[in-house]
Amino acid sequence: LTPRRKASLALTTALTVVLASLLAATLTSRAAIPEEGLEAKWSEGSLDCAGKPGPAIEVHRYDPRTFILRESLCTTFEAPLMYLLVGEQKALLIDTGDVAEPGKVALARTVQELLPGEGSQKLPLLVVHTHRHLDHRAGDGQLRALPGTQVIGYDLESIKQFYNLPDWPRGRARIDLGQRAIDVIPTPGHNETEVTFYDRVSGLVFSGDFLLPGRILVDDIGAYRESAARLINALGDRPVTAFLGGHIEMDAHGKLFEWQSQHHPDERALPMTSADLQGLATALARFNGFYTESGGFTLINSIHILIAIAVAIGAVLIALVWIVVRYARRRRARKAAQAA
């Protein structure tokens, strides 16, 4: 071979390699889902979900290895968010949504299609939960049926065991996806099984129902306050790109949508900031045990409110009975006096 032919052969080979990898990249990059960052708009649902329900599930791609999934408002008013993080050796799905039936929401198929690799060469998948509420784990059954998939239990014992956190809620754990480490920080308070995930690669924090642009439903205020302090401490001065919660229940002006509304016009964007975490800590410190609005947060303990209402109704009933009994006695006494 002459040096010229050698050069042209090398050039042809290089060109072929480039073209082949470009082709492979287009085939595997799921080009149907553009990269939209975190400000992406979700479908706003509808006032007439029976008439025009729209897509059952939506996917936004944050980067080539980070996907945000959401069951749409017409599928379930909860419209929970789920997150798929892809590492070199494994992928992680955080939460499985509010719908069990694959005919209604094809969650397993959607996730499978997003995973790199083909057929039996698909990346293994680990499925975890932010907490055990049904709207974050109803799709577990679908995922369990996927080959190469491990679904972690949602009860407190399974969580303590899987993450090796015997001193719960103290301590923290780590999930290694291969070139992508995820910190797991216990954050009970909304629910006793809640954990928050911090992705060291993207700087994203997945905060479930612990911190979200919506109602902060408090189950255990003591645990919640401690968890806020624990999370602030665990994140320290690590870079945080955004906090991504489990639902969006506010419009762009911070006004809460009506409870269970399936129509969210002008919905707020998903991401929250470290300042929001500080704001949550302040609001938790001010919480009166029932209902508190502070710094854009609305904190509610619906059990305490229900107990308070029940106590109030009970008190009114007791007072009414007392009045009726007293009236009847006086009447009887008056009659007896008249008869005498």
User: What is the binding site for Zn ion (CB under 5 A)?
Assistant: 133, 135, 209, 246
Alpha-carbon distance values, 214 to 101, 210, 259, 296, 300 (Å): 26, 10, 10, 10, 11
Spatial CB neighbours of 282, under 8 Å, sequence gap ≥ 6: 294, 295
Nearer Cβ to Zn ion, position 125 or 138? 138
Least distance from Zn ion to the Cβ atom of residue 133, Å: 4
Least distance from Zn ion to the Cβ atom of residue 188, Å: 11
Nearer Cβ to Zn ion, position 154 or 198? 154
Nearer Cβ to Zn ion, position 76 or 149? 76
Least distance from Zn ion to the Cβ atom of residue 179, Å: 31
Give residue for tokens 């939960």: 129
Do the Cβ atoms of 251 and 265 come closer than 8 Å?
Answer: yes
Nearer Cβ to Zn ion, position 112 or 298? 298
Least distance from Zn ion to the Cβ atom of residue 93, Å: 16
Least distance from Zn ion to the Cβ atom of residue 285, Å: 22
Least distance from Zn ion to the Cβ atom of residue 212, Å: 8
CB atoms within 10 A of CB 233: 9
**Distance in angstroms (rounded) separating the CA atoms of residues 187 and 168:** 10
**Distance in angstroms (rounded) separating the CA atoms of residues 92 and 83:** 8
**Distance in angstroms (rounded) separating the CA atoms of residues 223 and 150:** 29
Nearer Cβ to Zn ion, position 82 or 281? 82
Least distance from Zn ion to the Cβ atom of residue 136, Å: 6
Nearer Cβ to Zn ion, position 62 or 77? 77
Helical residues (DSSP H) of 201-273, grouped into ranges: 221-235
Q: How far apart are the first and last CA of the chain?
A: 138
Give residue for tokens 């072929």: 16
Please report the beta strands in 200-336, taking only residues with DSSP state E, as ranges in sequence order.
204-208, 216-217, 242-245, 291-294, 297-300
Nearer Cβ to Zn ion, position 135 or 199? 135
Q: State the burial class of residue 156 (Cβ atoms within 10 Å of its Cβ: 0-12, 13-18, 19+).
A: middle
Least distance from Zn ion to the Cβ atom of residue 78, Å: 6
**Distance in angstroms (rounded) separating the CA atoms of residues 337 and 340:** 5
Closest by CA to 146, choosing from 98, 191, 88, 84, is: 84
